[in-house]
Amino acid sequence: MQVDESAKASTTTPAPAPKPAPTPAEEVRANLQLIERAVSTLEPRYTARVLRSLTTLRKKLDAKALAEVVGGLKDGPVKQGLLLYLPEAPSSPAASMEVDSGAGAATTAKAAPALTEPCPEVDVYLRLLVILRLLDAGSVDKAKQLAHETVDKIQQLNRRSLDAIAAKVYFYLGRLYELQGEIAELRPLFLAAQRTASLRHDDELQATLINLLLRNYLHYNLYQQADKLVSKTKFPDSAGNPQLSRYLYYLGRIRAVQLNYTEAHTHLQQAIRRAPNATVAPGFYQTVHKLFLIVELLMGDIPERGLFRHPVLKGALGPYLQIVQAVRTGDLAQFQSSLQTHAPLFTQDGTYTLILRLRHNVIKTGVRALSIAYSRISLRDICLKLHLDSEEDAEYIVGKAVRDGVIDARVDHAKGWMESWRRGEGGRGDVYETGEPRESFQKRIGFCLDLHNESVKAMRYPLNTHRKDLATAAEAREREKELAKEIESGEHDDDDVEPDF
């Protein structure tokens, strides 16, 4: 019984309390230690780990936590420069460690040790956090001022351990100007920085600046300048998937405007594959799919229905589903109504001009349906069914469809109708009577007949082959008889007898 009671007591031992989650200030200090380790060991993976947690840390980082971290720095130009943008920071390092009880003071002092003069990477990272905090607080002007100071400091340094953090600073500098609609002012700065990054072989910063310049050009519809930038620069092969997916998206937009839909479709498909998960970056995932759908329609394909049921894309692609349905059915009235209803959204997405090109596809689909349904239909009825402006427009559209090979018909201008050809019922008759289809059909028939004849020949046995076998068997029997006689006469031993095979 005593053993059972001791075993029961051991099983009922309370589990240790879970470790409390670190505060934002503690996370920032841990990131600073990782950055210092990356600098000392020349391992960029520690810096990459810090930047991966930037989005999560930004959501819970406040001015008080930043003030606590900055207040723990050693007095110097770095601390004084950051204090200008953090009025809540304590005046001395000891102020950030003051608590009521002695035990609490010891714990806080252990959690937040006084830092020495930080290295440039730590300085730039803290500046980046302050920029994000000012951006979230709505102080865009102060954030721009600090971002410019940080960029000037980065340009004076040539440290490869600073490249990844510098790329983030340039990205958010462009974001600050974009919020105020002044991104054109950054174009000379970005071009100069891109040249410098190319000379220094700074791949991460170079990829970021190329994307920022492409976004700058496309924002003002400067597609020719964007195409020149793509042709004159080479995107770094070592760039990460987030930057590469952005670059492929911008490249797809340029090719779509240039009517190169096949290449645009390829770039957009690769951008979707290399993009982060839909739940991680839903905005980019939706933006790429919007352009991808329009390019597929311009190529003459209809997107899959299941794409519109995706949880992330279902709400964003609702207006585009109406456009797809209008193109599939050839309903010009539905197309015009959807285009007018959602014109502001399409303009905001940058797909309005591409959707306007789909009008011809809608009309072409409607004309094809009418040519199948009617052997003869008047141009007036075509205007009414396709909601065209006049009979002259209908005649021009039908004539172009006939010339492009979309339909097999002819237009009678004198009588004012479109007459569709009936296969095998008069008119042009059978399609295999003349021309290239007949030749192709004859080649296929000839190939099948040759294949049949060769198969029959392959199954035949060679003639008189059995006679050769009989002659060989007779010679073998005579040879055996001669050997038997020689053995009987004693001329050969048994060991000298060799087989015939």
How many CA atoms are closer than 13 Å to the CA of 4, on its beta-carbon side?
1
The enclosing H or E element of 329 equals helix 318-329
Look at residue 252 and tell me if it is in a domain: yes
Q: What is the CA radius of gyration of the chain?
A: 40
Contacts of 351 (CB under 8 A, 6+ apart): 290, 291, 294
pLDDT at 95 over 50: no
Of 340, 339, 310, the closest CA to residue 325 belongs to 339
- Phi/psi of residue 205, nearest 5 degrees: -70, -35
Q: Which residues, listed in sequence order, are joined to residue 55 by a DSSP beta bridge?
A: none
Is the predicted pLDDT of residue 250 greater than 90, yes or no?
Answer: yes
Q: Are residues 397 and 494 in the same domain?
A: no
Which residue has 């390829």 as its token pair?
266
DSSP state of 16: P
**Dist CA 486 CA 408 (whole Å):** 92
User: Could you tell me if 163 and 202 are in contact, meaning their C-beta atoms sit under 8 angstroms apart?
Assistant: yes
My answer on whether 80 and 43 are in the same domain is yes
CA distance 162 to 142: 23
Which residue from 348, 354, 365, 364 is spatially nearest to 259, judged by alpha carbons?
354
Chain centroid to CA 5: 63
- Lowest-pLDDT choice from 90-99, 225-234, 257-266, 277-286: 90-99
Check whether 497 has a pLDDT greater than 70.
Answer: no
Contact 319, 346 (CB under 8 A): yes
Asked whether residue 38 is domain-assigned, the answer is yes
Alpha-carbon gap, residue 103 to 101, rounded angstroms: 6
**Mean pLDDT across the chain, nearest whole number?**
78
Q: Are 467 and 342 found together in one domain?
A: no
- Same domain, residue pair 125 and 73: yes
pLDDT score recorded for residue 227: 92
Q: Is 483 inside a domain boundary?
A: yes
DSSP-assigned states of every residue in 369-437: HHHHH-SEEEHHHHHHHHT-S-HHHHHHHHHHHHHTTSS-EEEETTTTEEEEPPTTSSTT--TTSSSHH
Same domain? For 454 and 497 the reply is no
Say which amino acid occupies 53. S
Identify the band that residue 15 occupies on the pLDDT scale cut at 50, 70 and 90.
low
**The total number of structural domains that make up the chain:** 5
90: left (phi over 0), alpha (psi -120 to 50) or beta: beta
What's the rounded mean pLDDT across residues 292-304?
Answer: 87
Kindly state whether residue 227 falls inside one of the protein's structural domains. Answer: no
Q: Are 289 and 307 spatial neighbours (Cβ–Cβ below 8 Å)?
A: yes
What type of residue sits at position 180?
A: Q
Burial 224-240 (b: 16+ CB within 10 A, else e): ebbbebbeebebbeebb
Distance CA(226)–CA(212), nearest Å, equals 11
Q: How far is CA 174 from CA 199, 276, 293, in A?
A: 22, 21, 29
Distance CA 122, CA 30 (A): 11
Whole-angstrom Cα distance, residue 324 to residue 362?
10
Residue 75 above 80 pLDDT? no
231 sits in which H/E element = helix 223-232
Q: Is the predicted pLDDT of residue 12 greater than 60, yes or no?
A: no
pLDDT at 451: 92
CA dihedral 369, 375, 377, 382 (to 10 degrees): 10
Q: Give per-residue pLDDT as tens, 469-491.
A: 667 777 778 888 888 888 877 65
Phi, psi of 411 (to 5 degrees): -110, 125
State residue 404's pLDDT score.
Answer: 66
Residues 6+ apart with CB under 8 A from 421: 408, 409, 410, 427, 428
Q: Which two tokens stand for residue 178?
A: 């974009």
- Under the banding of pLDDT at 50, 70 and 90, the label for residue 267 is very high
304 shares its domain with 364:
no
Q: Does one domain contain both 453 and 470?
A: no
pLDDT: which is higher, 168 or 395: 168
pLDDT band of residue 182 (cuts 50, 70, 90) is confident
Whether residue 229 is contained in a domain is answered as: no
Distance CA 277, CA 273 (A): 9
**Mean pLDDT computed over 401-406:** 70
Residues 29 and 168 in one domain: yes
In a domain, 151, yes or no: yes
Which distant-in-sequence residues (6+ apart) come within 8 Å of 64 by Cβ?
A: 88
Of the ranges 45-54, 103-112, 274-283, 366-375, which one carries the lowest mean pLDDT score?
103-112
Mean pLDDT lowest among 99-103, 153-157, 209-213, 418-422: 99-103
* Both structure tokens of 192: 């100069």
**Between the CA atoms of 138, 141, 144 and 146, what dihedral angle is there, to the nearest 10 degrees?**
-90
Instruction: State which of 347, 374, 393 marks the end of a domain.
Output: 347
Structural domain includes residue 208: no
According to DSSP, the β-strands at 376-378 and 409-412 are: unpaired
Residue 439 belongs to domain spanning: 431-460
- Shared-domain flag, residues 41 and 167: yes
Q: Inform me whether the pLDDT recorded for 428 exceeds 60.
A: no
**The pairing of beta strand 376-378 with beta strand 417-420:** antiparallel
Query: Which of 146-160, 178-192, 372-386 has the least mean pLDDT?
Result: 372-386
Q: Is 231 inside any structural domain?
A: no
CATH number of the domain bearing residue 407: 1.10.10.10
Instruction: With a cut of 60, say whether residue 103 has pLDDT above it.
Output: no
Q: What is the DSSP string of 115-135?
A: P-SPPHHHHHHHHHHHHHHHH
Contacts of 422 (CB under 8 A, 6+ apart): 375
- Residues 29 and 167 reside in one and the same domain: yes
- Cα-flanking dihedrals φ and ψ of residue 334, to 5°? -65, -35
Residues 279 and 411 in one domain: no
The answer to whether residue 247 scores a pLDDT higher than 90 is yes
Q: Are residues 49 and 132 in the same domain?
A: yes
Q: Worst-scoring range by mean pLDDT, 20-24, 151-155, 174-178, 342-346?
A: 20-24
